Amino acid sequence: MTNVNNIKITPEIVKEHGLNEEEYARIVSAMGREPNYTELGIYSVMWSEHCSYKSSRFHLKKLPTKAPWVIQGPGENAGVIDIGDGQAAIFKMESHNHPSYIEPYQGAATGVGGILRDVFTMGARPVANMNALRFGEPDHPKTRHLVSGVVEGIGGYGNCVGVPTVGGETNFDASYNGNILVNAMTVGLADTDKIFYCAAAGVGNPVVYVGSKTGRDGIHGATMASAEFTEDSEEKRPTVQVGDPFTEKLLIEACLELMATDAIIAIQDMGAAGLTSSSVEMASKGGVGFELNLDNVPQREANMTPYEMCLSESQERMLMVLKPGREEMAKAIFEKWELDFAVIGEITDTGKLTLKFGGEVVGDMPINSLVEDAPEYERPYVYTDKRDAADVAAPADLNKAVLDLIGGPNLCSRRWIWEQYDHMVMGDTIQRPGGDAAVVRVHGTEKALAISTDVTPRYCYADPQQGGRQAVAETWRNITAVGATPLAITNCLNFGNPERPEIMGQFVGCLEGMGEACRALDYPIVSGNVSLYNETNGSGIMPTPAIGGVGVMKDNEKMATIAFKNAGEAIVLIGETKDELGASLYQKQILGEDAGAPPFVDLDIERRNGDFVRALIENGQVSTCHDLSDGGLIAALADMAISGGMGADVTLESDLQLHTSLFSESQARYLVAADADTAETIRKEAKDAGIPVAVIGTTGGDTLSVNGDVSIAMSELTAAHEGWLPNYMAKAAE
Amino acid sequence: MKSAVIVFPGSNCDRDMAVALEKITGQKPLMVWHQDYDFDKVDFIALPGGFSYGDYLRCGAMSARSHIMKEVIKRAEDGVPTFGVCNGFQILTETGLLPGALMRNANLHFVCKDVKLKVENTDSLFTNGYDEGAEITIPVAHHDGNYFADADTLDRLEGEGQVAFRYADDINGAQRRIAGVMNAKGNVLGMMPHPERMIEPALGGSDGRVMFESVMNRLG
Amino acid sequence: MKARIFVTLKNGVLDPQGKAIEHALGNMGFGGVDAARQGKYIELDLQATDRAKAQEEVDAMCRKLLANTVIENYSIELE
Amino acid sequence: MKARIFVTLKNGVLDPQGKAIEHALGNMGFGGVDAARQGKYIELDLQATDRAKAQEEVDAMCRKLLANTVIENYSIELE
Ligand SMILES: Nc1ncnc2c1ncn2[C@@H]1O[C@H](COP(=O)(O)OP(=O)(O)O)[C@@H](O)[C@H]1O
Ligand SMILES: [Mg+2]
């Protein structure tokens, strides 16, 4: 085996590591000498966009992250909020876009594995998974294969680990043809006095490696493809990792068992850039140094170099700092779960990451230079031009337009997807997929968590600021619609190339909007992830800042669902419908246009209407509720009718044209159903509170009809809604 | 009724089973880690669902060869009521305590949803609480629930009343839509649907509860 | 010594994976495939040096773990 | 003609199934197994009679459907 550290660092090698000249000069000055090959590799991953957030950090700092119930905001593996009674919800969302495009099954599976580790690292038992997916247009030759692989991968991992996948969102749009988005979110529960952080402490304390062995998986960079440092150069090393959910399950149980003792000082999962970024992060947070003996790293393959061990992204591994003398006890736990356990180093007071291998020092870098000296760019940006309001035509055939929307790719039932996910394991899922938010009981209590992921990329593209607001507001509304109080969000910011000013403008605009909504709704950001460079051949995806919201319900028996429950109930529309068809789904899908300003998000009205609706549910006045979003009023009515297995007879009185009333995507609106007396009370209460309200119809029958102009048999509507996805997926693979 | 839940590496419905047993029997079950095969005497042994050993190689294959299963087989042969759900059912067929095998679902997809079941035998240890001809709703969540046995075995199972539950609709390709079978003695039941997930209205219904209550009735 | 083990479904046992392959190949325009069957292929690196003994040992592994003889056949090749 | 296709994980790709088999064999008292790997074994009944053509055709099937060449290798035997 060649000693990789003898390789001379040339400008080409620097470039292959994704570092520019100026960045390389910074490294040399930080170290006071030229880095060797291993050190260069470590700098390159630590300073990558993914680890250093160099293009986004400046703007992320402006987001609101605090509230009295926030225990831990961004900066740790996941965010932590107080949900009362000494309990905390811990959650985060992360992207696995590029790997999922290359190998949809394993890419999506390892995405789920990674986000689970972020959450149980902090001491939480994961209780729910969500997934936000964007695929190319249905007719694109790759789409079907990607949908099928991604869904199978998410299910394959989550089902095996035994954490229910309770919801998500799925969109199809041409802008994702060459770059799909797979964002996964995990929510976990812990006791507030049993939360674990990653800051290392205590000079001399052991650094311990647990989990799977290290292989040459996912090693960064084109450098590896040349494979000149090892014997087995006959095949190009795959950069795709294979997930092992069985090991993950064991790792969860073993970590939680050890966490119940007092042995752990700090713990961190090995995510992107594996051993390197986990040790650097732990050392940096704790203001200490790490000395690692790489000979002790459990290895899956022969002759691994220090470079490979440091950069491997093998899955299902964790790094811990233990209290001295607890090694044997900890080892016994990991052995019981048949997992590797190795003491691979100790904490030093040098402030350096020192790597030893075969008795020699093969790397020696100042920790703070790896973190604090990382470049931060304030990239130039231009805001997206504002659009004027659009005049949006009526459809040729109203009934057909409704059927096409409800039975089309973006509003059809996602049952084909979520029936492949075990959404009930753990026995606490009381609102399964298909509603506004998933609801999972806090085990053994009356409380429940409500979770929703949302973003409307059409709006973010048309007006990033409104789109950013709307994404946050929609999760808030979905959580409200089941009767829970929204508390905080995580996010996954998927954008194109930040070096293009118009993309950076989308990013900045969306973040401004998100920040405004978080502040207005008391709904801070506690964790998140940024995924940039989502583009192929120079064409970027639509800006897609996916938001994952979490709320709490005190009494889970009061929960509302979208299904109409009894015939003869009054249907009440809360909130004002305006002429807002710009950038609507109707405009895009039925008319094939994308023009005009998207709906305006008035955050005060959002809050007022939402608080009103939540109170109705909490008071027990209402148990049927649905918010209005894509597709407008008619889409919400259809969802409620299909879900309840009964029709509705609706009469709209308005100055707006009928198609506007039906398809407008005005914000801050909800539909509720209740018996006639209750509905009348609700109407009065809303009026008194200055909230636009109207009793618009009655549940029941086997037809969905509006003003006699829309009239569709429930059987036909249901078949269209349930049929699209399975029919699409059943079609021949190209 | 004192019960035990056997836990293998990768079991993931063990807690669900324990919660259901405690809610229904009023007694906390013994959680038995697969290496602790010398466990106390119990009235009821449950093999939970999940993915023991990741379902690698074949579902239930590795658990079936574990030391603790030797003990479970011995007790089952001595007449202790023994119940396997999903992965537990797969383990029971892999050990030979129940006939047949569970293959990949015919459409190759994992399926998680409520299904309608016909209770085929309402006299048994496990099903005496159901009304004759009852149709019940219980969720499934599996990738390998496609029950297979040769025609003679199937005839025998049906003839001897060993088919406990049958799917109302074909959901996974199972021969004769069989969802759950018992051994000849009637003290071992394996089924793919998860009764422990249907024990209270908040979860969508209580049809699963009756299965556990049936055993309690018999054991007195 | 290396053992190559092939585990296939018995005749008469419906093979959903094989069927799916048949189907997909047809849809992709590959004609002329009358039937497809999917099984498992397992490779073992053995310390054994005695062929006969190895054969016996691997046969036992197959019977006891690697194949489910209710539905599967197996065959062994030693190299 | 019959084609026998072996799909195995590429060198260096994690093989959780193989690892589990190794482990289980050890637990069952089968010593002397240094490593186990699990792959897929696919049999196709072909109408083709021309070997060279069949080889080419099956190769295309492997690349396009039967193997995932990002992580898997395949080999083909015609009988
Ligand atoms: N990829 C997915 N995985 C699981 N559930 C999904 C997925 N996509 C959509 N769903 C579920 O389908 C339902 C409808 O989704 P969506 O139209 O996005 O709801 P909303 O408009 O209320 O946000 C939700 O309950 C959602 O959780
Ligand atoms: Mg909603």
ipTM score of complex: 0.94
Q: Give catalytic status of residue B86 as yes or no.
A: yes
Structure tokens at A321: 């700092």
If you average pLDDT over residues A519-536, what whole number do you get? Answer: 95
Q: Which three-class secondary structure string do you get for D36-62?
A: EEEEEEEEEEECCCCHHHHHHHHHHHH
Q: Is the CB of A436 under 6 A from ligand 1?
A: yes
Q: Give catalytic status of residue B196 as yes or no.
A: yes
Atom of ligand 1 nearest to the CA of A454: 23
pLDDT bucket at A40, cuts 50 / 70 / 90: very high
> pLDDT tens digit string along B12-31?
999 999 999 999 999 999 99
pLDDT at A5 exceeding the cut of 90: no
What's the domain range around A671? 560-734
Atom of ligand 1 nearest to the CA of A169: 8
How confident is the model at residue A353, as a pLDDT? 96
Whole-angstrom distance, CA of residue A229 vs CA of residue A303: 10
Atom of ligand 1 nearest to the CA of A411: 17
Is residue A377 domain-resident? no
pLDDT bucket at A238, cuts 50 / 70 / 90: low
How confident is the model at residue A522, as a pLDDT? 98
Facing A160 at nearest CB: one of B51, B111, B194: B51
Lowest-pLDDT range, A637-641, B86-90, C23-27? C23-27
Q: How far is A302 from chain D (nearest CA, A)?
A: 10
Provide the CATH number for the domain around residue A578: 3.90.650.10
Facing A238 at nearest CB: one of D15, D23, D70: D70
Is residue A585 domain-resident? yes
Whole-angstrom distance, CA of residue A119 vs CA of residue A91: 6
How confident is the model at residue A731, as a pLDDT? 84
pLDDT at A676 exceeding the cut of 60: yes
8 Å CB contact between A319 and A271: no
Whole-angstrom distance, CA of residue A5 vs CA of residue A25: 19
Is residue A402 domain-resident? no
Chunked into runs of 10 residues, chain C (79 residues) has average pLDDT values of 95 90 90 93 95 96 96 95
CA B2 to chain CA mean position, Å = 18
Task: Choose the residue to mutate in A159, A405, A410, A414 for probing ligand 1, maximizing ligand atoms within 8 Å of C-beta.
Answer: A414
Q: Is the CB of A629 under 6 A from ligand 1?
A: yes
> pLDDT tens digit string along A446-486?
999 999 999 999 999 999 999 999 999 999 999 999 999 99
pLDDT bucket at A498, cuts 50 / 70 / 90: very high
Nearest CA to ligand 1 atom 25: A434
Number of Cα atoms under 13 Å in the Cβ half of residue A500? 15
**Catalytic site positions of A:** 50, 96
pLDDT bucket at A224, cuts 50 / 70 / 90: very low
Q: Distance between the two ends of chain C, CA-based, in angstroms?
A: 6
CB pairs under 8 A between A and D: 43
How confident is the model at residue C27, as a pLDDT? 86
Determine the 3-state secondary structure of A604 from DSSP. Answer: helix
Q: How far is D12 from chain A (nearest CA, A)?
A: 6
How confident is the model at residue A540, as a pLDDT? 86
The residue ranking higher by pLDDT, A449 or A303, is A449
Å from CA of A415 to ligand 1 middle: 9
Structure tokens at C4: 């190559």
How many other CB atoms sit within 10 Å of the CB of residue A368?
Answer: 15
pLDDT at A226 exceeding the cut of 50: no
Q: Establish if D35 touches chain A: CB-CB under 8 angstroms.
A: no
The nearest alpha carbon in chain A to D27 belongs to A338
pLDDT at A247 exceeding the cut of 60: yes
Q: Between chains, do D16 and A217 touch, taking CB under 8 Å as contact? A: no
How confident is the model at residue A143, as a pLDDT? 96
Lowest-pLDDT range, A221-235, A397-411, A455-469, D16-30? A221-235
Structure tokens at A101: 């495009």
Å from CA of C75 to ligand 2 middle: 55
Instruction: List all residues 6 or more positions away from A423 whose beta carbon is below 8 Å from its beta carbon.
Output: A164, A165, A166, A167, A429, A432, A433, A438, B112
> pLDDT tens digit string along A258-277?
999 999 999 999 987 789 88
Count of domains forming chain A = 1
Q: CB burial class (10 A; 0-12, 13-18, 19+) of residue A574?
A: buried
If you average pLDDT over residues A215-244, what whole number do you get? Answer: 57
Q: Establish if B151 touches chain C: CB-CB under 8 angstroms.
A: no
How confident is the model at residue A732, as a pLDDT? 58
The nearest alpha carbon in chain D to C33 belongs to D46
> pLDDT tens digit string along A125-164?
999 999 999 999 999 999 999 999 999 999 999 999 999 9
Structure tokens at A630: 């894509």
Facing C65 at nearest CB: one of D25, D34, D37: D25
How confident is the model at residue A234, as a pLDDT? 39
Whole-angstrom distance, CA of residue A169 vs CA of residue A124: 24
Lowest-pLDDT range, A15-29, A421-435, A659-673, B98-112? A15-29
Nearest CA to ligand 1 atom 15: A169
> pLDDT tens digit string along A304-315?
999 999 999 899
Helix axes A676-688, A603-618, angle to 10 degrees: 140
How confident is the model at residue A734, as a pLDDT? 39
Q: What is the mean pLDDT of chain A?
A: 94
Among B86, B94, B143, B213, the active-site one is B86
Instruction: List all residues 6 or more positions away from A399 whose beta carbon is below 8 Å from its beta carbon.
Output: A710, A711, A712
pLDDT bucket at A239, cuts 50 / 70 / 90: low
Chains that touch D (3 or more CB pairs under 8 A): A, B, C
Q: Is the CB of A168 under 6 A from ligand 1?
A: yes
> pLDDT tens digit string along D23-47?
999 999 998 999 999 999 999 999 9
Q: Is the CB of A418 under 6 A from ligand 1?
A: yes
Å from CA of A444 to ligand 1 middle: 27
Is residue A507 domain-resident? no
> pLDDT tens digit string along A100-121?
998 999 999 999 999 999 999 9
Q: Is the CB of A548 under 6 A from ligand 1?
A: no
Is residue A684 domain-resident? yes
Å from CA of A414 to ligand 1 middle: 7
Determine the 3-state secondary structure of B210 from DSSP. Answer: helix
Whole-angstrom distance, CA of residue A501 vs CA of residue A382: 5
Whole-angstrom distance, CA of residue A300 vs CA of residue A654: 69
Helix axes A464-481, A501-520, angle to 10 degrees: 40
Q: Between chains, do C46 and D61 touch, taking CB under 8 Å as contact? A: no
How confident is the model at residue C12, as a pLDDT? 86
Q: Is the CB of A433 under 6 A from ligand 1?
A: yes
Q: Establish if C35 touches chain A: CB-CB under 8 angstroms.
A: no
CB pairs under 8 A between B and C: 38
Å from CA of A12 to ligand 1 middle: 46
Q: What is the mean pLDDT of chain D?
A: 93
How confident is the model at residue D11, as a pLDDT? 84
How confident is the model at residue A222, as a pLDDT? 34
Nearest CA to ligand 1 atom 5: A167
Is residue A604 domain-resident? yes
Chain A neighbors of C27, CB-CB under 8 A? 732-733
Facing B100 at nearest CB: one of C17, C40, C70: C70
Whole-angstrom distance, CA of residue B172 vs CA of residue B210: 24
Q: How far is C41 from chain D (nearest CA, A)?
A: 5
How confident is the model at residue A220, as a pLDDT? 61
8 Å CB contact between A649 and A696: no
Q: Is the CB of A214 under 6 A from ligand 1?
A: no
How confident is the model at residue A227, as a pLDDT? 32
Is residue A442 domain-resident? no
Q: Is the CB of A478 under 6 A from ligand 1?
A: yes
Atom of ligand 1 nearest to the CA of A453: 23
